[in-house]
Amino acid sequence: MRPSRVFAATLLALALSTMSARAEDPPPTGPSPCVQECATAARAAAETCQAGGGTLEACRQAAEAQYLQCTAGCPSAPPPTTGGTPCLEQCGAQAQQAFQACRAQGGTVDSCTETAKAGYLQCASANCANQAPPTCEARCTALADGMQQHCLDEGNGADKCATVRQSALDRCTQELCSSTAQTCEDRCTDFSRGVFAECMSAGGTSTDCANQAADARAHCISEHCQPTPGPTCEDRCQARAKAAADECVAAGHPADACTTLVQQLLAHCVDENCAEPAPDCRDDCDEHAEQQFEACVAGGGSEEACRRAADSAEGACVMHCGDGSSEPDCPARCASAAEDLKQHCVTEGNDPAECAARAAEAARHCVAEKCDGTPEPPTCPALCELHARADFGRCVAAGGSADDCKSQAMDEFHGCVALHCQPPPACGQGCDARAAHVERRCVRHGGSAEECAAAAATVRTACQAKCSPPPPDSCDVDCEQRAQD
């Protein structure tokens, strides 16, 4: 996993969680006028580029480069000094504000993330240099708080979730805050096994306890096994969805429309940002060992005996894995996981081209977060899918039905792909595509069928006029022109 990517994702997520958890603190200041001016100028440059015939991808890259160059010269505002929020969290909150302002101005996720990351690092370097990293006990407290919140989000009672929190805190401190030769992830595995065993002894079902143990391990790794502790990917998506829900309601949109938008945002966020590489041989051994441990405990075995049996089975399994040289590399396993996502998306009845675009974005994020290689930039269809998704959100917020808005978004997606992502068509075909796009937009904005058909015909005629080559120069034409002059 590349540290820079982990750090960027963590600081943005940390800011989101801070905004929800510390509602009593004064909100951080918004982005500076310098950053806002850079965002406005970059957006105008992108629109001018596309109006001049540039492709969506080329114009996006040019605008992104201009934005990053411009914001690099903007001063970093110091974090607010009021309240008890730690310095790094205040810098993270400012970075999130900058990210949201950048996105509102039309910046891409990648360009806005890089800008927010740069601002965070500059703020932290200037203002938080003497802040000590969190202690193991503080990380355990954050882990236990996260598990308690997850328990509450699932609809459980406050007393039960308080018990879950205390149990997680006690076991985390006991197993993770002492010197050991085990790796961090191995210690998190032991911790999650203890959570499963305690859940079963308290009368939980094997399914519920397995889910609780998996959640405990994920939170443990995110809190203890990274240089900067932070929430899990799923928690980051939940925080984004909650922030979007609050903004939607505050904007006065209907509750059912906000629910639809938030559900779509959460599903897309998890699918595209939280994909894990397809398991390799050692991953399969880990999974089988955990299944054996849980089956052993569910069958009445003691935690210690089942732990020894699972470790023994895992060791025997790993012996057959070899050195891993014959297995697919990390990017290939990300591609495999993305292919599974695409097939699942199509099975659910979604458009195959849209599913392929979403899968490409999932593979890109997977490589960025989990592999050592440099990820590819977003594909053109993936950018069109983001554009169509935003169109869906605007449609639902305006009161349209989910089905109608989905159909409209699909038209927008295919129109975008046809105009920007395919090899340049023959001039006449390009004119037809442009006219069809104008007609669809006209209908969506309330025009009658006759008006929109006429508008499309006008665009097609003007476009086709540019397709015809000039007449050949001849003596008769030249003489006729001179006579007219």
SS3 204: coil
Give the tens place of pLDDT for each residue, 360-401: 888 888 888 788 666 677 888 888 888 888 888 888 777 888
pLDDT of residue 247: 84
Give the DSSP letter string of 308-345: HHHHHHHHHHHTTSTTSTTS--HHHHHHHHHHHHHHHH
Decide if pLDDT at 437 tops 60.
Answer: yes
Tokens of 164: 């879950």
Decide if pLDDT at 6 tops 50.
Answer: no
- Tell me the mean pLDDT in the region 155-160: 86
Q: Do 175 and 191 meet the contact criterion of CB atoms below 8 Å apart? A: yes
- Tell me the mean pLDDT in the region 80-90: 54
Q: Which residue has the higher pLDDT, 139 or 258?
A: 258
pLDDT of residue 35: 66
pLDDT of residue 69: 66
Give the tens place of pLDDT for each residue, 445-459: 788 888 888 988 888
For the full predicted model, state whether its pTM sits above 0.75.
Answer: no
Mean pLDDT (the chain) is: 75
pLDDT of residue 238: 84
Q: Which residue has the higher pLDDT, 94 or 349?
A: 349
Q: What are the Cα distances from residue 322, in Å, to 280, 315, 326, 332, 423?
A: 11, 12, 9, 19, 45
Decide if pLDDT at 79 tops 60.
Answer: no
Q: Using a CB cutoff of 8 Å and minimum separation of 24, what contacts does 151-160 make?
A: 153/238
Query: Nearest Cα to 233, choosing from 276, 187, 203?
Result: 276
Residue 349 to residue 379: CA distance in whole angstroms:
23
- Tell me the mean pLDDT in the region 84-104: 67
Residue 215 to residue 212: CA distance in whole angstroms:
5
Q: Which residue has the higher pLDDT, 27 or 209?
A: 209
What is the chain's percent helix, strand, coil content, to nearest 5? 75, 0, 25
pLDDT of residue 80: 47
pLDDT of residue 74: 66
CA atoms within 13 Å, Cβ hemisphere of 267: 12
- Tell me the mean pLDDT in the region 401-413: 84
pLDDT of residue 433: 76
Query: Nearest Cα to 258, choosing from 393, 103, 409, 407?
Result: 393
pLDDT of residue 82: 43
Contacts of 379 (CB under 8 A, 6+ apart): 357, 360, 361, 364, 421
pLDDT of residue 189: 87
Give the tens place of pLDDT for each residue, 291-341: 888 898 888 888 888 888 888 888 778 777 766 667 788 888 888 888 998
Place of tokens 């997850």: 150
62: DSSP letter:
H
Tokens of 158: 């406050």
pLDDT of residue 65: 67
